[in-house]
Amino acid sequence: MRRLKPFLTFGLMLAVVMLSGCSDMVVLDPKGPVGQQQKDLIMYSIGFMAFILVVVYALFTFIVYKYRDHKNHKGYDPDNEGSHLLETIWWIIPIIIVIALAIPTIKLNYSLEKAPIAAKEKADAKKDPLVINATAVDWKWIFTYPEQGIETVNYVNIPEDRPVLFKLTSAEAMASFWVPQLGGQKYAMAGMETKLYLQADEQGTYEGRNSNFTGEGFTNQTFDVKSVSESAFDKWAANTKSKAPKLTKDQYDKLMLPGYTKEMTFSSTHLGWVNHAKEADYALNVREKLGYKQEVPHSKKGKEQREELEKSHEESHAQ
């Protein structure tokens, strides 16, 4: 037992470290079919790797005990130069492991490039994917509903139990669109468009963020995904279209400046002026036109510049 004590102590310490961050593991609490499939793959991979660890540690313990140095040792040949059988086995096993992990991963990656199957199986015409353009800007998210002709900033409303096709792009730096409880992240890059299907099976508010470092303010580049009933979504979209202020080009250009902003809602979109998937340098040109010059982030001037931009965004929305 004394010989096993160091191993037991190490295992206990490892378990404490691993479980200490499990209080809010939203990735393992999915609220949609995409997130559920990805969770299943994660748990399969963890279980498979845990089994491998158990086998390796068991063999390690057995070999250390069986071939330890002691009197009257039997079964040990110091002149043994190798075993073709063992070498074949320890080459085949890793190949099997890689195949066992690769096949379900590749199959899932390809299946997630389509709208969730669960939604397609329901005979409802309104289950066609809702299209939303998501544009990343330092340090905010702009969501455009081309079919409804409306736009939001730092929040997005979606109908419950209906697939959503997010068309991702960026006005400048490469960002990463991620809603942990609905599905995995996908990159958004200037001058191109990537697509991500998500779906919420339950009503609620889910946190989303940019998970790719894009500078000082990326920590707060977050947004809320609000899943509501189909009727509530239709009512919200209609009210937004009829009552929200229109987005002006001057307002949109100011959103291209780095900084934070509050949630905004508009009854029109920016798509008539620019498509960042095709015009990668639009934000840079706007900043140059507005006379923006990036200061050192942690300097006094940098702090004053950031506060001024935040104030400018709020005033722009209040107009």
Coil, strand or helix at 101: helix
Would you state the pLDDT for residue 316? 47
State the pLDDT confidence band at 120, using cuts at 50, 70 and 90: very low
Q: Region 114-119: what's the mean pLDDT? A: 71
Residue 243 confidence (pLDDT) above 90: yes
- 103 Ramachandran zone, left/alpha/beta (phi>0; psi -120 to 50): alpha
Q: Are strands 175-179 and 204-210 parallel, antiparallel or unpaired?
A: antiparallel
Say which range, 73-82, 106-115, 147-156, 168-177, has the weakest mean pLDDT: 73-82
Cβ atoms 194, 166 nearer than 8 A: no
The CA–CA distances, whole Å, from 142 to 24, 42, 198, 266, 289 equal 27, 31, 17, 11, 21
Residue type, 223: F
Residue 291 confidence (pLDDT) above 90: no
Q: By 3-state DSSP, what share of the chain in percent is helix, strand and coil, each rounded to 5?
A: 45, 20, 35
> What are the residue ranges spanned by the domains of the chain?
26-67+82-113, 123-318
Q: What does the alpha-carbon distance between residue 250 and residue 247 come to, in Å, rounded to a whole number?
A: 8
The model's pTM:
0.80
Q: Can you say how many angstroms the Cα of residue 127 is from the centroid of all Cα atoms in its chain?
A: 24
Q: Region 90-110: what's the mean pLDDT? A: 94
User: Which fold would CATH assign to domain 26-67+82-113?
Assistant: Helix Hairpins (1.10.287)
Radius of gyration of the chain (CA): 27
Q: Region 113-134: what's the mean pLDDT? A: 73
Q: What does the alpha-carbon distance between residue 292 and residue 281 come to, in Å, rounded to a whole number?
A: 15
Q: What does the alpha-carbon distance between residue 312 and residue 290 come to, in Å, rounded to a whole number?
A: 13
Architecture of domain 123-318: Sandwich (2.60)
Q: What does the alpha-carbon distance between residue 193 and residue 177 come to, in Å, rounded to a whole number?
A: 12
- 168 Ramachandran zone, left/alpha/beta (phi>0; psi -120 to 50): beta
